[in-house]
């Protein structure tokens, strides 16, 4: 005798297909709930995510639309302006001399941004610690800031040297790519005009001064730790008038750099 088919609570027979259908409905409901809560939590933690995704998608679409044009061989460049335009083309389609110019310009753009970003970040780290110098622990605070000040000094020097030598180095690179000396100088000069140039050199000088004065004070204090009295606001004094005079000179210079930021 065959088993009678299972019945639902209302007495209707249930078929295997009905049970499978109910199972998948439950799976969809549970899966939809998990996805909903996951996306909700993601958006709460990252409220800017939709705009970020939108910008990435539009940027990708824009790049895709420009791919065909960037891979076309550009008109033969004749002026400095023409050569600067080579950065908008795929270097793989450029002749050897043009490729050398385009790669040199691309490297210069990337390196200019890198040295400036590094200097900005390191100086911000140093400035974030400056309030610790106005406390009763100022003596140890100066010493603790030595590594950060040293890194800042190195980064400032790197940025200054980079921009001061940029035109000369680019000119030499262009000449090695087969560009005539006069035209190579024109391309390098025109490119330099589009960079922060002297402004970046001046900024590096200020960062260098900040780091140098911090290191001068930190070295002075670390070499003579027992000759100083520190007040609650970080002010220092010494019975050795020569030491105190040296400290005051560097401290005044440091305060001047900080206030002129």
Higher pLDDT, 88 or 157: 157
In a domain, 46, yes or no: no
Mean predicted confidence (pLDDT) in 70-84: 86
Instruction: Indicate whether 99 belongs to any domain.
Output: yes
Q: How many domains does the chain have?
A: 1
DSSP 8-state symbol, 236: E
Whole-number pLDDT of residue 23: 72
Q: What is the mean pLDDT of residues 204-222?
A: 96
Q: Is residue 19 part of a domain?
A: no
Among the ranges given (71-75, 147-151, 186-190, 243-247), the one the predictor scored with the smallest mean pLDDT: 71-75
pLDDT, one tens digit per residue, over 127-146 is 999 999 999 999 999 999 99
Residue 73 located in a structural domain: no
In a domain, 246, yes or no: yes
Helix (H, G, I), strand (E, B) or coil at 112: helix
- SS3 assignment, position 232: coil
Q: What is the pLDDT of residue 59?
A: 46
Tell me: pLDDT of 25 over 90. no
54 belongs to a structural domain:
no
Model confidence at 163: pLDDT above 60: yes
**Which comes out higher in pLDDT, residue 40 or 61?**
40
Does residue 9 lie within any of the structural domains?
no
Asked whether residue 20 is assigned to any structural domain, the reply reads: no
Statement: residue 57 has pLDDT above 60 = no
Q: Identify the pLDDT of residue 27.
A: 72
Residue 137 gets which letter from DSSP? T
- Cα 154 → chain centroid: 17
Q: What is the mean pLDDT of residues 71-76?
A: 79
Q: DSSP for 13-26?
A: BPPHHHHHHHHHHH
What pLDDT score was predicted for residue 26? 74
Share of the chain above pLDDT 90, in %: 66
Residue 1 confidence (pLDDT) = 47
Write out pLDDT tens, residues 82-123. 999 998 998 888 998 899 999 999 999 999 999 999 999 999
At 215-235, the pLDDT tens digits run 999 999 999 999 999 999 999
The pLDDT mean for the chain works out to 84
Residue-range definition of the domain harbouring residue 222: 80-259
Which of 238, 190, 187 minimizes the C-alpha distance to 77? Answer: 187
45-73 b/e (C-beta count within 10 Å ≥ 16 → b):
eeeeeeeeeeeeeeeeeeeeeeeeeeeee
The pLDDT, as a whole number, for residue 43 is 52
Does this model's pTM top 0.85?
no
Alpha helix stretches (DSSP H) within 46-180: 49-70, 80-84, 96-129, 138-144, 146-176
């Amino acid at each position: 005798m065959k088993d009678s088919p299972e019945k639902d609570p209302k007495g209707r027979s249930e078929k295997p297909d009905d049970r499978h259908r109910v199972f998948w409905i439950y799976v969809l409901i549970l899966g939809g709930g998990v996805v909903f809560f996951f996306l909700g939590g993601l958006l709460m933690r990252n409220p800017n995510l939709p705009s970020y995704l939108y910008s990435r998608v539009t940027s990708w679409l824009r790049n895709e639309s420009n791919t065909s044009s960037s891979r076309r061989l550009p008109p033969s460049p004749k002026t400095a302006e023409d050569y600067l335009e080579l950065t908008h083309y795929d270097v793989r389609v450029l002749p050897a001399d043009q490729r050398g110019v385009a790669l040199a310009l691309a490297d210069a753009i990337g390196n200019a941004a890198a040295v400036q970003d590094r200097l900005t970040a390191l100086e911000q780290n140093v400035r974030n610690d400056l309030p610790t110098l106005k406390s009763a622990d100022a003596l140890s605070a100066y010493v603790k800031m030595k590594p950060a000040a040293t890194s800042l000094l190195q980064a400032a020097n790197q940025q200054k040297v980079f921009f001061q030598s940029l035109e000369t180095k680019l000119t030499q690179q262009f000449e090695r790519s087969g560009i005539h000396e006069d035209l190579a100088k024109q391309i390098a000069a025109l490119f330099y005009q589009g960079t922060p140039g002297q402004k970046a050199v001046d900024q590096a000088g200020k960062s260098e001064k900040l780091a140098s004065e911090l290191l001068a004070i930190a070295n002075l204090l670390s070499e003579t730790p027992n000759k100083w009295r520190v007040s609650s606001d970080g002010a220092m004094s010494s019975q050795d008038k020569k030491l105190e005079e040296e400290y005051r000179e560097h401290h005044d210079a440091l305060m001047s750099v900080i206030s002129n930021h």
